[in-house]
């Protein structure tokens, strides 16, 4: 099992996600970036599970959990973004400063 | 904590019980009026009948409960007492509670019955009067206070009830306090009672110190078992208690407050004279009777002497009064004299029997007088007359009351007065016996005079009087039934249930009770009554006094002595009140302004100076500054920190990331 390339791919994916979260102004893109981060974690899980040949396959089970939760999270996140867009006619995340002091 | 004590003694064929639930819940009798008074005070004005319905409902319940108690007492005999311990002072347990025995059940019934009828009467009599709601509050409290007093198993509760009755009487006598006369009458009643109360209080303290208990039943137990420690102080304690009783039961020379108490509304007079106040003294003497009988027989002689003086002196004054209510008031004083004298002669049952019958017919007479006064708007009999035609119901019931008071058979007063006379005769007090017979003669005479001047002859007043409302005449009718029949419960040789009722006591009563009619006493009493009525009728009816309203018997100088009430009020003013007012009060006032006030003012100034120093230096510059500084520091710091809260998600994420990176680096390189 080649570990290093897979870890590099996962790290790259994670960094891309962080970059996207911090830089993109579109809220949908921010949500997408979060998905990237989650998926990089998934890759790590699968990779270590295979490498260790875990009989209980805990890494894969966790991955399924994460995918499920990610789906739910995206569902709620998109719904919020949709409502914000309807009220504000914009999806720019910088416009959403209702929680300001 | 309820301490459940049951003591039963058996005498003859009667079996006594502890009274069961009915006795256990008798505290309701005492508590209900106080709850009702609170309700009337806070909600009375918003109710449709302005609070009268609450008072009526309460007193109705009390009447029903006391009737139930009376019934169970008559059928099976109830003796029980309950204590609630509320604390202790030194070795003395302070206990409240309630007694259910013959004496107190009889009093519950009298208070319940008379108060119910008076309350019904008052709803109409007081209609449209000032402070109507407050009147019912006080009236309910008045009845409640009397129940506190008569239900008392301890001396401390007796004292509390005693004072409560005094306060309520003050409120009610001074109901129309806008007039100076009325408020001073209230004050007079209160202060005269207060002077007597001092005697009661010292008496209670002496008894408590020498018996080690405040429970009446235990004091009576010690008295009847000849405890030596108690016997040394028995005489003085007995006299002191009697002084207390003299105040409440208006015995000569402390009777002066009672006639003035007529300043109150008539229902108050009726309640006060029949059930709730003046009977308190007789009740106290009756409650402590075993103590008097076994430990202080000398004190009983003094009690009897004062009773006899009172019955004669007050009866004579009643003859010269022109105010209808005052005739009745002096008559009450006189009848109380009979009761007290009867207790003094050792005739416990006779005294209570007279209390019982007197309560009904005197309430009847007062309510009748109230009905008349309501109609003619005057208290003076000189402005009445001829009312029998316009007020037939009042006239008929008043006549029943009069005959009952004069003591003609088969009306109530006959039996009770006869029993008192028989006891005097039995005790060999022949002088007192004849004074009492003379008193009966005077009673009959002044009542005939009052009836003649009020109801017979021609009308001498103003306006057109008419019969009172049914709400007023119905209680009169009900009371006249009692005035006729209440004497039949104790006919010597026929039925003597009353004797069994009131002698049902925890400590056995040793007293004289006639087994059959004493023919000598009977005939003297009856003859005196008939003669009195005949003389009154002759002087005021046949001689025509009732037509003109003037008196045929103005024999100087007796008349003016009597009109001035033996100059007793003047004596009190000249030798008691004025010296106190002029010398002692002024001296006290001077001492107060020059010494105490100066002290108090000096202390006040020092305190305010000290306060100023503390305020300016310590409080303002110390504590306040510290607190202000800390709050303003928090405020400015918060103002700066809050700028971080931009509301922009990505900035937060940036900070979060910075934090994560910093902590990661720290973990990697330092730890």
Beta carbons of A30 and B649 less than 8 Å apart: yes
DSSP structural state of residue B377 = S
B195 and B75 in one domain? yes
Rounded-to-integer distance, Cα B337 and Cα B251, Å: 7
Strand partners of residue B87: B94
Judging contacts by C-beta atoms under 8 Å, the chain A residues touching residue B647 are: 96-101
B511 and B410 in one domain? yes
Per-residue pLDDT at B451 exceeds 90: no
Taking the model in full, what pTM does it have? 0.73
What pLDDT score does A63 carry? Answer: 94
What pLDDT score does B610 carry? Answer: 93
Judging contacts by C-beta atoms under 8 Å, the chain A residues touching residue B654 are: 22
CA angle B301, B302, B308 (to 5 degrees): 90
Task: Report yes or no on B500 lying in a domain.
Answer: yes
Residue B3 contacts A where some CB pair is shorter than 8 Å: no
Task: Report yes or no on B569 lying in a domain.
Answer: no
Our CA-based measurement puts residue A30 at a distance from the nearest CA of chain B, in whole angstroms, of 9
B281 and B183 in one domain? yes
Beta carbons of A97 and B648 less than 8 Å apart: yes
Our CA-based measurement puts residue A6 at a distance from the nearest CA of chain B, in whole angstroms, of 22
B596 and B516 in one domain? no
B128 and B199 in one domain? yes
Mean pLDDT of B620-633: 90
| Percent with pLDDT over 70 in chain B | 93
Chain A CA closest to residue B641: A101
What is the number of other CB atoms lying within 10 angstroms of the CB of residue B117?
28
B611 and B468 in one domain? no
Rounded-to-integer distance, Cα B362 and Cα B31, Å: 27
Give the structural domain span for B266. Answer: 2-563
B468 and B387 in one domain? yes
Residue B655 contacts A where some CB pair is shorter than 8 Å: no
Helix, strand, or coil (residue B645): coil
Q: Residue B603 to residues A69, B15, B87, B592, B610: CA-CA distances in angstroms? A: 78, 69, 37, 15, 11
Task: Report yes or no on B309 lying in a domain.
Answer: yes
What pLDDT score does B12 carry? Answer: 41
B439 and B342 in one domain? yes
Rounded-to-integer distance, Cα B274 and Cα B416, Å: 15
Mean pLDDT of B247-273: 84
Least confident of B123-137, B160-174, B490-504, B594-608: B490-504
Element (H, E) at B402: helix B392-406
Beta carbons of B647 and A100 less than 8 Å apart: yes
What pLDDT score does B608 carry? Answer: 93
Rounded-to-integer distance, Cα B260 and Cα B262, Å: 5
Q: How many domains does chain B have?
A: 2
Residue pair B472/B121 in contact by the 8 Å Cβ criterion: yes
What pLDDT score does B556 carry? Answer: 63
Helix, strand, or coil (residue B361): helix
Q: Provide the token pair at B102.
A: 């013959």
Q: Provide the token pair at B519.
A: 């023919």
Rounded-to-integer distance, Cα B101 and Cα B79, Å: 4
- If you write DSSP's letter for every residue of A51-94 in order, what string do you get? HHT-TT-HHHHHHHHHHHHHHHHHHHHHHHHHHHHHHHS--BGG
Question: Among all chains, which residue has been given the structure tokens 């309630």?
Answer: B98
Task: Report yes or no on B586 lying in a domain.
Answer: yes
Beta carbons of B648 and A18 less than 8 Å apart: no
B585 and B509 in one domain? no
Nearest to A68 by CA among A98, A38, A91, A48: A38
pLDDT digits (tens, 9 = 90+) for B329-377: 888 888 889 889 888 888 888 888 888 898 888 888 888 888 888 888 8
Residue pair B50/B162 in contact by the 8 Å Cβ criterion: no
Rounded-to-integer distance, Cα B206 and Cα B229, Å: 11
Mean pLDDT for chain B?
83
What pLDDT score does B609 carry? Answer: 93
Per-residue pLDDT at B545 exceeds 70: no
Rounded-to-integer distance, Cα B599 and Cα B605, Å: 10
Burial class (CB in 10 A: 0-12, 13-18, 19+), B94: middle
Nearest to B245 by CA among B160, B303, B181, B298: B303
Mean pLDDT of B250-263: 83
What pLDDT score does B662 carry? Answer: 94
Residue B75 contacts A where some CB pair is shorter than 8 Å: no
Q: Provide the token pair at B561.
A: 């002595």
Q: Please report which confidence band the pLDDT of residue B11 belongs to, taking 50, 70 and 90 as the band edges.
A: very low
Q: Which of B642, B646, B657 sits opposite A97 (nearest CB)?
A: B646
What pLDDT score does B288 carry? Answer: 87
Residue B660 contacts A where some CB pair is shorter than 8 Å: no
B581 and B440 in one domain? no
Mean pLDDT for chain A?
90
Mean pLDDT of B599-628: 90
Per-residue pLDDT at A71 exceeds 90: yes
Mean pLDDT of A66-92: 92
Mean pLDDT of B101-123: 88
Residue B657 contacts A where some CB pair is shorter than 8 Å: yes
Residue B87 contacts A where some CB pair is shorter than 8 Å: no
Chain A CA closest to residue B640: A101
Beta carbons of B654 and A93 less than 8 Å apart: no
Burial class (CB in 10 A: 0-12, 13-18, 19+), B626: exposed
Helix, strand, or coil (residue B353): helix
Of the three residues B563, B585, B603, the one that is the final residue of a domain is B563
Task: Report yes or no on B654 lying in a domain.
Answer: no
| Percent with pLDDT over 90 in chain B | 7
What pLDDT score does B554 carry? Answer: 63
Mean pLDDT of B464-493: 82
Beta carbons of B645 and A99 less than 8 Å apart: yes
What pLDDT score does B553 carry? Answer: 61
User: Which sequence spans correspond to the domains of chain A?
Assistant: 26-94
What pLDDT score does B580 carry? Answer: 75
Rounded-to-integer distance, Cα B209 and Cα B194, Å: 22
Task: Report yes or no on B665 lying in a domain.
Answer: no
Per-residue pLDDT at B501 exceeds 80: no
Element (H, E) at B3: strand B2-5
Beta carbons of B646 and A100 less than 8 Å apart: yes
B615 and B547 in one domain? no
Task: Report yes or no on B658 lying in a domain.
Answer: no
Per-residue pLDDT at B643 exceeds 80: yes
Per-residue pLDDT at A40 exceeds 90: yes
Task: Report yes or no on B110 lying in a domain.
Answer: yes
B357 and B441 in one domain? yes
Of the three residues B563, B592, B612, the one that is the final residue of a domain is B563
Residues of chain A contacting B, Cβ within 8 Å? 18, 21-22, 30, 93-94, 96-101
Mutation site for A-interface testing, chosen from B643, B649, B656 by largest number of A Cβ within 10 Å: B649
Burial class (CB in 10 A: 0-12, 13-18, 19+), B218: middle
Q: Which of A97, A98, A101 sits opposite B642 (nearest CB)?
A: A101
What pLDDT score does B3 carry? Answer: 45
Residue B380, phi then psi, degrees to nearest 5: -80, 130
What pLDDT score does B555 carry? Answer: 65
Rounded-to-integer distance, Cα B484 and Cα B408, Å: 10
pLDDT digits (tens, 9 = 90+) for B28-45: 888 888 888 888 888 877
Which of residues B338 and A2 earns the better pLDDT score? B338
What pLDDT score does A13 carry? Answer: 94
Residue pair B338/B253 in contact by the 8 Å Cβ criterion: no
Residue B646 contacts A where some CB pair is shorter than 8 Å: yes
Most confident residue range from B363-372, B384-393, B419-428: B363-372
Per-residue pLDDT at B8 exceeds 50: no
Mean pLDDT of B612-623: 87
Per-residue pLDDT at B552 exceeds 70: no
Rounded-to-integer distance, Cα B419 and Cα B491, Å: 9
Mean pLDDT of B120-143: 84
């Amino acid at each position: 099992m080649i570990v290093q390339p897979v870890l590099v791919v996962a790290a790259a994916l994670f960094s891309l996600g962080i970059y996207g979260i911090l830089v993109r102004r579109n809220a949908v893109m921010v949500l997408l970036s979060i998905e990237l981060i989650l998926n990089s974690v998934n890759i790590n899980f699968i990779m270590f599970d295979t490498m260790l040949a875990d009989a209980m396959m805990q890494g894969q089970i966790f991955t399924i959990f994460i995918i499920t939760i990610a789906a739910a999270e995206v569902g709620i996140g998109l719904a919020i973004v949709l409502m914000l867009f309807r009220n504000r006619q914009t999806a720019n995340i910088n416009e959403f400063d209702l929680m300001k002091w | 904590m309820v301490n459940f004590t049951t003591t039963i003694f058996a005498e003859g064929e009667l079996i006594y019980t502890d009274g069961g639930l009915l006795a256990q819940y008798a505290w309701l009798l005492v508590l209900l009026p106080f709850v009702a008074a609170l309700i009337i005070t806070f909600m009375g004005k918003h109710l449709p009948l302005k609070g009268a319905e609450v008072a009526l409902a309460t007193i109705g319940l009390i009447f029903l409960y006391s009737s139930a108690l009376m019934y169970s007492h008559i059928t099976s005999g109830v003796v029980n007492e309950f204590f609630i311990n509320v604390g202790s002072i030194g070795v003395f347990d302070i206990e409240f509670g309630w007694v259910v025995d013959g004496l107190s059940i009889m009093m519950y019934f009298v208070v319940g019955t008379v108060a119910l009828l008076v309350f019904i009467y008052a709803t109409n009599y007081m209609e449209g009067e000032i402070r109507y709601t407050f009147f019912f509050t006080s009236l309910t409290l008045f009845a409640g206070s009397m129940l506190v007093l008569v239900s008392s198993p301890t001396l401390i509760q007796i004292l509390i009830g005693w004072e409560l009755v005094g306060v309520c009487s003050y409120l009610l006598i001074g109901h129309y306090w806008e007039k100076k006369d009325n408020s001073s009458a209230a004050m007079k009643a209160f202060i005269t009672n207060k002077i007597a109360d001092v005697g009661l209080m010292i008496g209670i303290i002496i008894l408590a110190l020498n018996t080690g208990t405040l429970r009446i039943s235990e004091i009576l137990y010690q008295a009847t078992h000849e405890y030596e420690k108690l016997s040394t102080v028995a005489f003085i304690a007995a006299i002191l208690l009697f002084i207390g009783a003299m105040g409440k039961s208006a015995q000569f020379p402390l009777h002066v407050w009672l006639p003035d108490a007529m300043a109150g509304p008539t229902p108050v007079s009726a309640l006060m004279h029949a059930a709730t106040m003046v009977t308190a003294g007789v009740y106290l003497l009756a409650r402590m009777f075993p103590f008097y009988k076994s430990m202080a027989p000398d004190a009983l002689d003094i009690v009897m002497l004062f009773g006899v003086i009172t019955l004669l002196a007050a009866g004579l004054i009643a003859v010269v009064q022109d105010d209808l209510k005052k005739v009745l008031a002096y008559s009450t004083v006189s009848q109380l004299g009979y009761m007290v004298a009867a207790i003094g002669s050792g005739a416990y049952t006779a005294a209570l029997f007279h209390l019982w019958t007197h309560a009904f017919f005197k309430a009847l007479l007062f309510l009748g007088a109230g009905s008349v006064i309501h109609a003619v708007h005057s208290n003076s009999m000189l402005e009445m007359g001829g009312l029998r035609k316009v007020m037939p119901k009042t006239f008929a019931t008043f006549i029943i009351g009069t005959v009952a008071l004069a003591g003609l058979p088969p009306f109530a007063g006959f039996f009770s007065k006869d029993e008192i006379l028989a006891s005097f005769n039995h005790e060999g007090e022949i002088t007192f016996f004849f004074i009492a017979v003379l008193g009966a003669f005077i009673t009959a005479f002044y009542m005939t005079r009052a009836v003649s001047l009020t109801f017979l002859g021609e009308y001498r007043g103003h306006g057109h009087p008419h019969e009172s409302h049914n709400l007023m005449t119905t209680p009169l009718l009900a009371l006249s039934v009692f005035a006729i029949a209440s004497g039949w419960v104790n006919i010597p040789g026929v039925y003597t249930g009353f004797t069994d009722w009131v002698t049902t006591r925890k400590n056995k009563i040793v007293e004289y009770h006639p087994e059959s009619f004493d023919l000598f006493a009977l005939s003297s009493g009856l003859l005196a009554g008939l003669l009195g009525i005949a003389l009154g009728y002759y002087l005021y009816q046949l001689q025509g006094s009732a037509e003109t309203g003037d008196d045929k018997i103005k024999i100087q100088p007796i008349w003016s002595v009597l009109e001035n009430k033996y100059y007793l009020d003047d004596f009190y003013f000249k030798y008691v009140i004025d010296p106190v007012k002029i010398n002692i009060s002024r001296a006290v006032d001077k001492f107060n302004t020059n010494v105490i006030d100066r002290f108090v003012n000096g202390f006040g100034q020092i305190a305010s100076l000290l306060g100023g120093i503390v305020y300016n230096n310590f409080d303002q510059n110390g504590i306040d500054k510290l607190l202000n500084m800390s709050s303003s520091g928090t405020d400015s710091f918060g103002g700066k920190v809050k700028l971080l809260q931009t509301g922009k998600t990505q900035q937060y994420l940036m900070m979060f990331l910075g934090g994560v990176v910093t902590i990661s680096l720290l973990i990697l390189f330092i730890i």
